[in-house]
């Protein structure tokens, strides 16, 4: 149950988002009941799931959303449970038809489709209108405004075939009427997103964050139909799914659900969480109705850092509101994996594959590990070695980057309750020198 004081903000933002999307055509002949195969990547935040999701989604024949589906949960009021965490009650109510239509509206396959003709521009405009409504709900950027911005960008953009460059041009045009749109909140290369308007840590806008920054760069792809849903897997990932695995059965009742449980050593994940909390994005909820955050390493960064929680909210989160940031991150890591370990079974998944992210990062084990993932997911593996894309990164990726902060993160992951989960996942005390 969303906290009472957050309800007006949520209702105002979701209603505005729905109004902005009202003029967008949606397919009414496909829905989530027709999905036959799901590959769900379940992990803790900063555990590598965005990268693996991109690798699988880029393969021909796979169906996916652009980024996480957390925004669709929040658009449909599937946000926080009664304890204020991301764990939902098993009997939580929701409008299946509405969330199904939302999934279908963003589901696609294949590479980005440049808007080279009228039909492609219309599809691109539709996708952008939906995404912008999730990202900047209170702006109520309508379909007509997006259509004009797309037409202007296609005429003036030097690289309309590059999704990031084209989208940056669309944003520049939209900002003439919507100056509060801030490109620095997007997962764009620095040259395209620019510098933030202020160095003070703040959320992207004053409303409810339906989509959490860094925002996905939207692009049009081949739309799905009944035949695609019958023959190809839907690849999904959401940082909160570890806490709500039974919900996937209710959303896609006729699908065979395969879960890739992606693990990562706690030191690396906590280091990534530490960076993310202090970065420009990852704001999830304003929790000031219950607590003023006093998280050392975060809350001193500005007034909004005393209000806004970042990433997922594990059960028991209220005991963390005055703890150091590295301890918060350690409990987020352990909370997600504890929930996944407890919930994964025949009732929630038809098959489970546990994959250490380190084996994807390590060139010596990468191809063998990815082969096992592709085989498990029943997705054809590309003939050439996979290049690892940079996705949702807060700093330049590198092996064992956490060691620069070892004195901070190792005591945090040495807590007994964190240690118990780490041992169960194979990250044992005394073997830290082998952790990437």
For residue range 7-35, what is the model confidence (pLDDT) as tens digits? Answer: 679 999 999 999 999 988 777 799 999 99
State the average pLDDT over residues 405-419. 97
pLDDT, position 172? 96
Cβ–Cβ contacts within 10 Å for residue 181, how many? 19
pLDDT, position 61? 87
pLDDT at 349 over 80: yes
Distances in whole angstroms, Cα of residue 243 to Cα of each of 67, 178, 262, 341: 18, 36, 14, 10
CA–CA gap between residue 298 and residue 310 (Å, rounded) = 10
pLDDT at 5 over 60: no
pLDDT, position 383? 85
Burial 352-370 (b: 16+ CB within 10 A, else e): bbebbbbbbbeeeeeeebb
Distances in whole angstroms, Cα of residue 185 to Cα of each of 283, 389, 432: 11, 19, 34
pLDDT, position 321? 98
pLDDT at 400 over 90: no
Is residue 330 within 8 Å of 412, Cβ to Cβ?
Answer: yes
CA angle 407, 293, 82 (to 5 degrees): 110
Q: What share of the chain is helix, strand, coil (3-state, %, to 5)?
A: 45, 10, 45
Helix axes 118-135, 143-156, angle to 10 degrees: 120
Tokens found for residue 323: 């703890």
CA–CA gap between residue 270 and residue 276 (Å, rounded) = 10
For residue range 353-389, what is the model confidence (pLDDT) as tens digits? Answer: 999 999 999 999 999 999 999 999 999 988 888 878 7
CA–CA gap between residue 68 and residue 236 (Å, rounded) = 7
Per the prediction, the chain carries an average pLDDT of 93
State the average pLDDT over residues 144-160. 94
* 3-state secondary structure at position 231: helix
pLDDT at 195 over 90: no
| Residue 396's pLDDT band (cuts 50, 70, 90) | low
Category of 297 on φ-ψ map: left (φ > 0), alpha (ψ -120 to 50) or beta: left
CA angle 261, 208, 191 (to 5 degrees): 75
- Residue 413 CA, distance from chain mean position: 24
State the average pLDDT over residues 229-240. 96
For residue range 238-288, what is the model confidence (pLDDT) as tens digits? Answer: 999 999 999 999 999 999 999 999 999 999 999 999 999 999 889 999 999
| Residue 397's pLDDT band (cuts 50, 70, 90) | low
pLDDT at 395 over 60: no
Instruction: Using the structure block, give the residue that is written with the tokens 């003036």.
Output: 156
Contacts of residue 230, defined as CB under 8 A and 6 or more positions apart, other chains included, come to 34, 36
pLDDT, position 6? 58
pLDDT at 421 over 90: yes
| Residue 95's pLDDT band (cuts 50, 70, 90) | very high
pLDDT, position 274? 97
């Amino acid at each position: 149950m969303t906290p009472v004081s957050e309800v007006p903000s949520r209702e105002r933002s979701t209603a505005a988002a729905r109004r902005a999307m009202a003029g967008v055509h949606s397919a009414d002949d496909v829905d989530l009941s027709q999905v036959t195969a799901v590959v769900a990547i379940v992990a803790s935040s900063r555990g590598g799931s965005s990268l693996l999701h991109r690798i699988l989604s880029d393969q021909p024949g796979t169906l996916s959303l652009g980024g996480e589906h957390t925004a669709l949960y929040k658009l449909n009021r599937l946000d926080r449970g009664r304890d204020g965490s991301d764990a939902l009650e098993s009997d939580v109510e929701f409008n299946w038809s509405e969330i199904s239509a939302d999934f279908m509206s963003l589901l696609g396959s294949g590479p980005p489709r440049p808007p080279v003709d009228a039909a492609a521009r219309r599809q691109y405009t539709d996708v952008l209108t939906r995404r912008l409504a999730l990202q900047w709900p209170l702006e109520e950027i309508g379909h007509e405004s997006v259509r004009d911005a797309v037409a202007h960008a296609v005429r003036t953009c030097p690289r309309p075939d590059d999704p990031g460059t084209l989208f940056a041009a669309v944003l520049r045009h939209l900002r003439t009427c919507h100056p509060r749109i801030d490109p620095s909140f997007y997962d764009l290369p620095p040259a395209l997103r620019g510098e933030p308007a202020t160095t003070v840590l703040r959320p992207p806008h004053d409303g409810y964050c339906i989509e959490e920054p860094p925002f996905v760069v939207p692009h049009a792809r081949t739309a799905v139909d009944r035949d695609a849903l019958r023959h190809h897997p839907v690849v999904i990932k959401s940082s909160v799914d570890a806490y709500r695995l039974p919900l996937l059965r209710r959303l896609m009742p006729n699908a065979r659900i395969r879960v890739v449980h992606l693990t990562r050593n706690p030191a690396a994940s906590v280091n990534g969480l530490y960076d993310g909390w202090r970065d420009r994005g990852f704001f999830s909820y304003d929790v000031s109705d219950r607590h003023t955050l006093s998280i050392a390493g975060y809350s001193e960064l500005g007034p909004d850092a005393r209000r806004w929680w970042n990433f997922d909210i594990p059960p028991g989160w209220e005991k963390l509101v005055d703890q150091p940031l590295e301890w918060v991150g350690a409990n987020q890591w352990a909370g997600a994996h504890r929930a996944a370990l407890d919930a994964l079974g025949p009732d929630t998944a038809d098959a489970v594959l546990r994959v250490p992210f380190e084996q994807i990062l390590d060139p010596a084990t990468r191809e063998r590990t990815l082969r096992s993932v592709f085989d498990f997911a029943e997705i054809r593996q590309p003939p050439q070695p996979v290049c690892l894309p940079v996705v949702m990164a807060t700093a330049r990726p590198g092996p064992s980057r956490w060691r620069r902060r070892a004195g901070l993160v190792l005591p945090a992951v040495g807590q007994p309750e964190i240690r118990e989960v780490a041992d169960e996942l194979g990250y044992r005390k005394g073997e830290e020198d082998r952790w990437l």
